[in-house]
C-alpha cells in the first residue's frame, strides 16, 4: 500500500510530499521529495518489535542544507571532486568548493537540496529532478529519476536513471544513515560490518583518492570478515585520523557494469536486525557519522551525536572525473545512466 501526504512547502512555494510504502507485515518506509530522501524504514527485530532504523528529521524544512545529507540523493556528483574542477572533452569546468579545498555532493545547491517532482507509478514511487545546463557549474541539461520499490520481504530497491543532452559527469547514490537498534538509540560502534571489498582507496588529508587502490589486509580498513565498526576506529592509522573515523571508498570485489553484486552486511547483535546491501555500482563509501553533532533535531526529538548512524553509499569512486583509470562517470547524449541499490532487511 502506498499513501501520500503534503509535508510542507519549499521557500519558493513548491509542495513537498511524504510517501509511505507499507507491506502486509506492517513494515514500511517513508520517502520525502526533498532530495528524494529515505526518511524512515520501520522493520521488525528478532522478537518482532518494530523500530525505525533510518536517521532523519520530522520537519521537512530540516532536509534543506543539512550537513549530513540525511537520507537523500546527492548530485550531480556524489562525494568529492578535487579542487572543484575537472576537464571533459578538453574543456575545464569549475565547480563550487564547499568541503575544504574540494567540491562535495554537487555543491551547496546539489540535488539533495532540491524538491524533486514525484508520483506513484506501477507499485513504486518515482522522483524526478531536472538539472539545468550550467547548474552548479556542470555541463548539460540532465534529467534524473529515482525509483523506490518496497517488497513483502522488506527489501527497498532503488533504481537510479538519468539522461543528458550534452556530455556531462554523474555519480548518484543514496545517503541514508542506519542504526539497526533504532534511530536515536545511541552509537552504531557495536554494530558489525562486513564488506565485499578487499581493497580501498587511500586519500590525501582532504580526502581525495591518491590514485590506485590498496589491500585492506592487515589494516583497520579490513572488513572482509565481519567485525564491530568500533573495533579499530581509534587505531593509530592515518586514514582514520584524517576523517575522525571511517569515511572512505572501498572497491567492491567482482563489480561489473550492470550486474548486481553483494556489497555489505550490517548487523546489530542487540536487536538481531540485519541489513544486506546489493548494488551495480563499483564502489562503496562507508561513513560512520563522524560529524553528526550539531545537525538538525532528529525524529521524535532525538539529538544525534557522532557515530549514531552509518552511511553505506554505493557509488562510483570519489574524484573519478580526474582519474582516468577509475570507472567512467561520463554520460553522453543518447546514453542512459542506470544503477541499482537494494537494501534488504531481515533478522538473524
Per-residue pLDDT of 49-107, as tens digits, reads 999 999 999 999 999 999 999 999 999 999 999 999 999 999 999 999 999 999 999 99
pLDDT in tens, 256-306: 999 999 999 999 999 999 999 999 999 999 999 999 999 999 999 999 999
CA 118 to chain CA centroid, Å, is 19
3-state secondary structure of 165: coil
Helices (H), the chain: 238-243
Please confirm, yes or no, whether 212 is among the known catalytic residues: no
Give the count of alpha carbons within 13 A of 75, CB side only.
33
Cα 259-169-73 angle, rounded to 5 deg: 70
- Check if the beta carbon of residue 106 is closer than 8 Å to that of residue 93: no
Cα distances (Å, whole numbers) of residue 213 to 57, 149, 228: 36, 34, 23
Catalytic residue among 103, 105, 175, 248: 175
For residue 99, the model assigns a pLDDT of 97
CA 255 to chain CA centroid, Å, is 18
Cell numbers at residue 89, please? 572533452
Contacts 24+ apart (CB under 8 A), 38-44: 38/71, 38/148, 38/156, 38/174, 38/176, 39/71, 40/299, 41/156, 41/176, 41/343, 41/345, 43/154, 43/273, 43/345, 44/273, 44/347
Give the count of alpha carbons within 13 A of 23, CB side only.
17
Distance between terminal CA atoms of the chain? 27
For residue 175, the model assigns a pLDDT of 98
Query: Rounded mean pLDDT of the chain?
Result: 98
pLDDT in tens, 253-266: 999 999 999 999 99
Cα distances (Å, whole numbers) of residue 305 to 63, 79, 174, 177, 308: 17, 22, 21, 12, 6
Q: DSSP class of residue 102?
A: B
| Calpha distance 188→233 (Å, rounded) | 12
pLDDT band at 314 (very low <50, low <70, confident <90, very high): very high
Q: Which phi-psi region, left, alpha or beta, contains residue 68 (left: φ > 0; alpha: ψ -120 to 50)?
A: alpha
pLDDT in tens, 183-235: 999 999 999 999 999 999 999 999 999 999 999 999 999 999 999 999 999 99
pLDDT in tens, 117-137: 999 999 999 999 999 999 999
pLDDT band at 18 (very low <50, low <70, confident <90, very high): very high
| Calpha distance 153→72 (Å, rounded) | 23
For residue 125, the model assigns a pLDDT of 98
CA 236 to chain CA centroid, Å, is 27
pLDDT in tens, 203-214: 999 999 999 999
For residue 309, the model assigns a pLDDT of 98
For residue 128, the model assigns a pLDDT of 98
How much of the chain exceeds pLDDT 90, in percent?
Answer: 100
Average pLDDT (40-51) is 98
Indicate whether this model's pTM tops 0.75.
yes
Task: For each of the domains in the chain, give its residue range(s) and CATH number, in order of start.
Answer: 2-347 (2.70.98.10)
In the numeric block, the cell 510530499 is attached to: 17
pLDDT band at 341 (very low <50, low <70, confident <90, very high): very high
Please confirm, yes or no, whether 122 is among the known catalytic residues: no
> What is the number of other CB atoms lying within 10 angstroms of the CB of residue 241?
12
Amino acid at each position: 500500500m502506498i499513501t501520500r501526504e503534503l509535508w510542507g512547502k519549499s521557500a519558493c512555494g513548491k509542495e513537498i510530499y511524504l510517501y509511505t510504502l507499507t507491506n502486509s507485515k506492517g513494515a514500511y518506509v517513508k520517502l520525502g521529495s526533498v532530495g528524494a530522501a529515505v526518511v524512515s524504514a520501520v522493520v521488525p527485530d528478532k522478537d518482532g518489535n518494530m523500530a525505525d532504523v533510518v536517521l532523519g528529521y520530522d520537519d521537512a524544512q530540516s532536509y534543506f542544507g543539512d550537513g549530513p545529507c540525511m537520507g537523500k540523493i546527492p548530485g550531480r556528483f556524489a562525494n568529492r571532486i578535487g579542487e572543484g574542477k575537472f576537464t571533459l572533452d578538453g574543456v575545464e569546468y569549475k565547480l563550487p568548493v564547499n568541503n575544504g579545498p574540494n567540491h562535495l555532493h554537487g555543491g551547496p545547491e546539489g540535488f539533495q537540496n532540491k524538491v524533486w517532482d514525484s508520483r506513484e507509478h506501477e507499485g513504486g514511487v518515482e522522483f524526478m529532478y531536472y538539472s539545468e545546463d550550467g547548474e552548479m557549474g556542470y555541463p548539460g541539461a540532465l534529467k534524473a529519476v529515482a525509483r523506490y520499490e518496497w517488497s513483502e520481504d522488506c527489501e527497498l530497491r532503488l533504481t537510479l536513471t538519468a539522461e543528458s543532452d550534452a556530455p556531462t559527469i554523474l555519480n548518484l547514490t543514496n545517503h541514508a544513515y542506519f542504526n539497526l537498534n533504532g534511530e536515536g538509540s545511541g552509537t552504531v560502534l557495536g554494530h558489525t560490518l562486513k564488506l565485499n571489498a578487499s581493497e580501498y582507496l587511500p586519500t590525501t588529508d582532504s580526502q581525495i583518492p591518491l590514485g590506485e587502490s590498496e589491500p585492506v589486509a592487515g589494516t583497520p580498513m579490513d572488513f572482509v570478515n565481519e567485525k564491530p565498526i568500533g573495533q579499530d576506529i581509534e587505531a593509530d592509522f592515518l586514514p582514520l585520523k584524517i576523517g575522525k573515523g571511517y569515511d572512505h571508498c572501498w572497491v567492491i570485489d567482482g563489480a561489473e557494469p550492470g550486474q548486481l553484486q553483494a556489497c555489505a552486511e550490517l548487523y546489530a547483535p542487540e536487536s538481531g536486525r540485519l541489513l544486506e546491501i546489493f548494488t551495480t555500482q563499483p564502489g562503496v563509501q562507508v561513513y560512520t557519522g563522524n560529524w553528526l553533532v550539531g545537525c538538525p533535531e532528529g525524529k521524535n526529538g532525538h539529538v544525534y551525536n557522532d557515530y549514531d548512524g552509518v552511511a553505506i553509499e554505493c557509488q562510483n569512486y570519489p574524484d573519478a572525473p580526474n582519474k582516468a583509470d577509475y570507472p567512467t562517470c561520463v554520460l553522453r547524449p543518447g546514453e542512459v545512466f542506470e544503477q541499482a541499490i537494494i537494501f534488504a532487511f531481515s533478522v538473524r
